Amino acid sequence: MNYDTTNLVKISNHKTSNFNLMFEINDQLGRTLVFKEKPKRIISVVPSQTELLWYLGLEEEVVGITKFCIHPDSWYRTKTRVGGTKTLDFEKIAALSPDLIIANKEENTQSEIEALMELYPVWISDIYTVEDALDMMTTVGDLLGKKQQAVELVNELSPKFEALKQASVGAESYKVAYFIWQGPYMVAGSDTFIQHLLELSGFDNVFGKMQRYFEVTMEDLRVATPDLILLSSEPYPFKEKHIKAFQTVCPNAQVLLVDGELFSWYGSRLLGTVDYIQNLRKAVAQNRLL
């Protein structure tokens, strides 16, 4: 997705002309946003980043979220919901008078975000790796006056993921297929945050050479012969009842339900990701030994 930023190098140029410039900050698309003060009315249209804002203590500043921003529950119940991540309600957004919208290149619709950029400052993340996620946290914290909290979070996460990486060196590798959708079946491929976490964890994605998220058939799965089939809890909510179909196609593979948030949310939820993946690897190894 390539955003047209020809006239948007600085946030809403018609607004910035009256600013007494105090600071500039880049988003992860390389766009420069210019502010005269810390944003006070924020809308987040990305669930994992909404949870990060809560973690950083921005209770008063965040005025709008999406219907998919389910964490924290208190915000989901009380904050104004401005539509879905790909179906934003522009009237609700306008009523909230935001001075900052926090979006994501992949999770939001390009045309909607470009339209919002004509009206409001929009900071866009673009995340493929843990390093990208940590950079996002640091930059958002700096932008919103929560630099210390963000740095502390990054300092807590960095050694966790380094330990995960080191633990995978020399460990048994498993061929894995990670399913995100049914009807049609879709898997995570290359250039995705999920793929990065799989690699970091010592899993070999059998569809890792395919582009992004794409459709596969059960025959594709059979030919790929994975050792492990992971069925994510989101965006499609796979359940126990779905396991049998995969087990029939790949009788020698382990088929497990996994927490999709811990594999794909790149905000503060990453605090639980490393322990979760390490426990997953232990469960897979124990099952293989039976």
- 16-48 tens-digit pLDDT: 334 345 789 999 999 999 999 999 999 999 999
Q: Taking residues 172-196, what's their average pLDDT?
A: 95
What is the per-residue pLDDT for 35?
93
Chain segment 203-216, per-residue pLDDT in tens = 999 999 888 899 99
CB 250 within 8 A of CB 200: no
Q: From CA 113, how far away is CA 126, in angstroms rounded?
A: 13
Both structure tokens of 161: 């993921």
What is the per-residue pLDDT for 12?
38
Kindly indicate the confidence band of residue 287, based on its pLDDT and cuts at 50, 70 and 90: confident
Taking the alpha carbons at both ends of the chain, their separation in whole angstroms is 46
pLDDT higher than threshold 70 for residue 200: yes
Q: From CA 246, how far away is CA 232, in angstroms rounded?
A: 13
Chain segment 136-168, per-residue pLDDT in tens = 999 999 999 999 999 999 999 999 999 999 998
Q: What is the value of pTM for the model shown?
A: 0.90
Burial code (b: 16+ CB inside 10 Å, e: under 16) for 175-186 equals bbbbbbbeeebb
Report all structural domains of the chain as residue ranges with CATH numbers, in order of start.
13-126 (3.40.50.1980), 167-289 (3.40.50.1980)
Burial code (b: 16+ CB inside 10 Å, e: under 16) for 27-36 equals bbbebebbbe
pLDDT higher than threshold 70 for residue 52: yes
Q: Taking residues 255-262, what's their average pLDDT?
A: 98
pLDDT higher than threshold 80 for residue 224: yes
